[in-house]
Amino acid sequence: DTAVSQTPKYLVTQMGNDKSIKCEQNLGHDTMYWYKQDSKKFLKIMFSYNNKELIINETVPNRFSPKSPDKAHLNLHINSLELGDSAVYFCASSQGNREGHFGPGTRLTVT
Amino acid sequence: AQSVTQLDSQVPVFEEAPVELRCNYSSSVSVYLFWYVQYPNQGLQLLLKYLSGSTLVKGINGFEAEFNKSQTSFHLRKPSVHISDTAEYFCAVTRSGGSYIPTFGRGTSLIVHP
């Protein structure tokens, strides 16, 4: 069984569009995250949700918004996509301050 | 605030040779330390972690790391690498108390040549 899953795996879209990426974890973890990995492999944490409460929110544009319908899901909505949003987005989960379990990633390409 | 420095962006090595990937961190509080591996086009996978106890930590795939508090280091080692170890390796640190808000290093690309 997949521990952390993301859909879609690939997402190609045009500038100005709005898109969503879904994430689900079946590990029973209490915290979920979104990361952005750029072309140089640098990982930037974007959001973290603990028990449905946003606990960190890095300085990302407000075009990005996380939404957590329940403890097992954390979706990422992106409005008015820009070229610079092209990257790989990873969802992850953890139990408290233990290690993170990462999803396979969503490669977003904005044209 | 905490930070992580991976001293080498790229480490080329021949198959069956030993390798060390270096990681230094800074933090004003106690930390947990992690090494992750990312194979091409995949997500990150935990290699090993230091939470407490023995400073020598063994992980998957024959890797190990040693926590050195005085030198604030957590270097990753493997005595004999394989072609399949070619990947990106990330060191990460988080506060030992409170929520998991990790800081990642910029990654080290391990390239194993035949």
Residue whose tokens read 């040779």: B17
CA distance B33 to B92: 6
CA angle A9, A20, A10 (to 5 degrees): 20
DSSP states of B35-102 as a string? EEEE-TTS-EEEEEEE-SS-SEEE-GGG-EEEEETTTTEEEEEESS--GGG-EEEEEEEEESSSS---
In the predicted model, is pLDDT for residue B67 greater than 80? yes
Strand pairing report for B108-113 and B10-14: parallel
Decide if A45 touches B, using CB distance below 8 A. Answer: yes
B96:A97 CB<8 A: yes
Q: Residue A35 CB: number of other CB atoms within 10 A?
A: 25
CA distance B65 to B87: 17
Which one of A23, A25, A43 would you mutate to disrupt binding with B, by most B Cβ within 10 Å of its Cβ?
A43
Decide if A3 touches B, using CB distance below 8 A. Answer: no
Nearest to A105 among B43, B46, B99 (CB): B43
Confidence band (pLDDT; 50, 70, 90) for B27? confident
> In terms of CA atoms, which chain B residue is nearest residue A103?
B43
Question: What is the nearest CA distance from A15 to chain B, expressed in angstroms?
Answer: 24
Q: What is the pLDDT of residues B69-81, one digit of tens each?
A: 999 999 999 999 9
Q: What is the pLDDT of residues B46-59, one digit of tens each?
A: 999 999 889 999 99
